[in-house]
Structures are given as C-alpha cells and as structure tokens.
C-alpha cells in the first residue's frame, strides 16, 4: 500500500529565510503525482506545487520549489524568502496515475514564521 | 466561478441523528471525493466518484453513504451520527491532475 510520511510535525523559520519541509513516500507504481498543499487557519486546502513522477526536472512555483528524488522516494518542499503569510499547515500528498481518485496525505507539518 | 462549494460550514449533531453534507462544483469535473481530517492523521478518503452514477468506497467508508446523480453534486450522508464522526469534512473535485477543495465542514457529534 502507498504511504506518505512527514517526519517533522512542526517547523519554524525566520521571515526572509529559507526552510525545507521533508516528505517521503512509498509506492510500487511508476506513474504517479506528488503534491504539496497549504492549509492556513482558514481551513482552505490550497495547492502549492505539484510534480509528475515522469518529469526529472524539479517543479518550481515562485518562492516554492521541490527536491524530487525518485529513487529515494523523497519529495521535499523548499520555501525561499519566507513570509508571514506562509505560516500554515503543509501536507504532502500522493496520487497514483490513471483513473484513481485517491489522494494519500501525510500527517502534515505546522510551519511557524517568526518576524 | 465558485469552484467547490460545501454546506454547511459548521454543524452540531446529537448521537443517532442523520444529516447530509452538500457538495457542488461548477467546473464540470468528472472526479469528486469526500475526505475527513482528524488531528494528527492528515486527510483520509471516505468515498469517491468517477462520474455521474458511479461511486466507490475509500479508506474509511463506514457510517457514510454517497450518491452522484449529477456531475455537479456529490452529497455525503451520515446515517446515524456517532461521536467518532466528529471531524472536519472536505469535498474535492478534479478533472486532470489538480484537485480543488471546498472550504470544509466542521462537524461535532455530541
């Protein structure tokens, strides 16, 4: 069975600094997608970034980038130039390719941003 | 474009009561899902649908029913609420890669 592990329940970063959130996953599939979702106190789930497993290039969205290590089954999120608005719970998620609708989530990392 | 709309946002139920959480999307997405979020456990899949008339069970389906009579709507029914169903519920829809989530329903069963 596929699993997603986030080993950092809480992280803290100074404003304008860089922080990396860790995520590892386990799967025997070759076709899959990986995601990072942000959940602020408003409770809304917001997609931060996604990575297709077949793409070797790491995804980047403005200040957010990933380090996708397929062989190691690792998918970390780097937030550069951290801002107060980045404070939130971050979830790593996996979905197999094809018609499956099942997103498998990690347990989340609560990120605090210190001014 | 409203996206995914869930109602209600908050609900308190007594043990044994039934209710329906509503979910509607206006993006013509084929895939819709219901998740529950519990502290320290991330989100877990309850039920999902790959199109109108087609539903299937997820990871934690017991105590919940769903139906998908239209592409737009995917209601979640609690048949006889139990305190273990106290949680935050999310509805999501997708067409291709990205899933869009509703704002969630915080349900408390007393």
What's the DSSP call for residue A59?
Answer: P
Check B103 against A107: CB less than 8 A apart.
Answer: no
A79 vs A88: CA distance, rounded Å: 12
Cβ contact (<8 Å) for B35 and A47? no
B interface with A, Cβ–Cβ < 8 A, is 31-33, 35, 40-45, 48-50, 58-59, 88, 90, 92, 94, 97-101, 103-104, 106
Read off the pLDDT of residues B21-75 as tens digits, 9 standing for 90 and up. 999 999 999 999 999 999 888 899 999 999 999 999 999 999 999 999 999 999 9
Å between B54 CA and nearest CA of chain A: 12
Are B42 and A107 inside 8 Å of each other by CB? yes
Q: Give the chain B residue nearest A99 (alpha carbons).
A: B50
Q: Residue A39, CB half-sphere, CA atoms under 13 Å: how many?
A: 24
| B65: helix, strand or coil | strand
Q: Indicate yes or no: CB of B42 within 8 angstroms of CB of A47.
A: no
Task: Read off the pLDDT of residues A13-65 as tens digits, 9 standing for 90 and up.
Answer: 999 999 999 999 999 988 999 999 999 999 999 999 999 999 989 999 999 99
Q: Do B42 and A91 touch (CB under 8 A)?
A: yes
- Taking 90 as the threshold, does the pLDDT of residue B98 lie above it? no
Q: For residue range A66-80, list pLDDT tens digits in order.
A: 999 999 999 999 999
Cα A114 from Cα A87, distance rounded (Å): 9
Distance CA(B90)–CA(B106), nearest Å, equals: 9
Residue B95 predicted with pLDDT over 90:
no
Of A33, A101, A108, the CB nearest to B97: A33
pLDDT tens track for A15-28:
999 999 999 999 99
């Amino acid at each position: 069975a596929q699993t997603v592990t986030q080993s950092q329940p809480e992280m803290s970063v100074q404003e304008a600094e860089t922080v990396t959130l860790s995520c590892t996953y386990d799967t025997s599939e070759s076709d899959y997608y990986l995601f990072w979702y942000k959940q602020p106190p408003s409770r809304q789930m917001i997609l931060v970034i996604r990575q297709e497993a077949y793409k070797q290039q790491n995804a980047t969205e403005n200040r957010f980038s990933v380090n996708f290590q397929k062989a190691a089954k690792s998918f970390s999120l780097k937030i550069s130039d951290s801002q107060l608005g980045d404070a939130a719970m971050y979830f790593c998620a996996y979905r197999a390719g094809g018609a499956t609708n099942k997103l498998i989530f990690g347990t989340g990392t609560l990120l605090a941003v210190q001014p | 474009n409203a996206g995914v709309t869930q109602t209600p946002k908050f609900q308190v139920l007594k043990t044994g009561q039934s209710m329906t959480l509503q979910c509607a999307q206006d993006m013509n997405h084929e895939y819709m899902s219901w998740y529950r979020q519990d502290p320290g456990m991330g989100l877990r899949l309850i039920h999902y649908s790959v199109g109108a008339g087609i539903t299937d069970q997820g990871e934690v389906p017991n105590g919940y029913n769903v139906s998908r009579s239209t592409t737009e709507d995917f209601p979640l029914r609690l048949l006889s609420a139990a305190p273990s169903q106290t949680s935050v519920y999310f509805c999501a829809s997708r067409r291709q890669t990205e899933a869009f989530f509703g704002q969630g329903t915080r349900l408390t069963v007393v």
